[in-house]
Amino acid sequence: MLQTQDLSKSYNGHEALKGLNLQVAPGEIYCLLGANGAGKTTTINLFLSFIEPSAGCALVDGIDVMTDPVAARHRLAYIPEQVMLYRQLSGLENLVYFNRLSGRDMAPEGYREVLRDCGLQADAVDRKLGTYSKGMRQKVGVAIAVAKQARALLLDEPTSGLDPKASNEFSQLLVRLREQGAAILMATHDLFHARQTATRIGIMCEGVLRRELVAHEVSHADLERIYLEHMN
C-alpha cells in the first residue's frame, strides 16, 4: 500500500533522505524511529507530495504521488503531531465537515458511531473542540480517517505530549485499524510506543534507513540497545 523506491531528498546540497526503500502492507503498522533530522518527517511529506523528491519515487497503492497526487491522497489520511481542526466547532461538526469535504457523507448517527468507535467520550461529541485535550483531538483526527475510508494512514509523532493513558488508548485504536486492514506508517521518537504498537520498526539516522526489525522479535531492552548503537 505504501512504498518508496530509492527515494531521496536534498536541500541546498544537504541530503535529508538517501535512497530510501521501504514497504508497508495492508494490516501493518510500520514505525520509523530516529532523532530530529533523521528523515522521518521528510519521508511523510514526500508521501503527501508536500515536497518533490530529488530522486526516486513514493507510491500509494501503486500510484506515484507526484504523477497523480489527487488519486494518491484519496487513499491517504494524515495525522500530524498537532491535529489542525476548527476549535469553534464540535467534534461531530468537524467530522461532518471534513468528511463532506472529501466527497463523502453518511447518516447523522453514523458520524456519532464513528466517534464512539474511535474512543471519544459521548459527552464530548457535541462540545466545542476548543475544550478538548490533545488526546481527544487525535481521536477526532482518526475518526476523520475512518469516515474517509482511508486505506493508508501517515502519522507524525501522534503521541507526543500525550499522557500514558491517552497514549495507550491511541495505540489500541491504531491496532484496531490495523486489524481492519489499514496500512499505517508512523514517525516517532517513542521507543516504548513503537515496540508496543508496531508490526515492524525501522531505525533511521542521517537520512538512511539503518535497520529494520520485526517488533515482536525484540524486547524493549533490545530495541533500546539497538537504537542507541545506531544513534552513536
Summarised one tens digit per residue, pLDDT across range 146-179 is 898 889 999 998 888 778 888 888 888 889 899 9
Q: What is the pTM assigned to this prediction? A: 0.90
The alpha carbon of 41 is separated from its chain's Cα centroid by a whole number of angstroms, namely 10
Q: Cell digits for 154?
A: 501517515
3-state SS of 130-187 is HHCCHHHHHHHHHHHHHHHCCCEEEEECCCCCCCHHHHHHHHHHHHHHHHCCCEEEEE
Q: What is the predicted pLDDT for the residue at 10?
A: 96
122 vs 125: CA distance, rounded Å: 6
67 vs 74: CA distance, rounded Å: 14
Is it the case that residue 25 has pLDDT exceeding 90? yes
Q: What is the predicted pLDDT for the residue at 167?
A: 83
Q: Cell digits for 149?
A: 475510508
Summarised one tens digit per residue, pLDDT across range 33-53 is 999 889 999 999 999 999 999
Q: Cell digits for 69?
A: 497526487
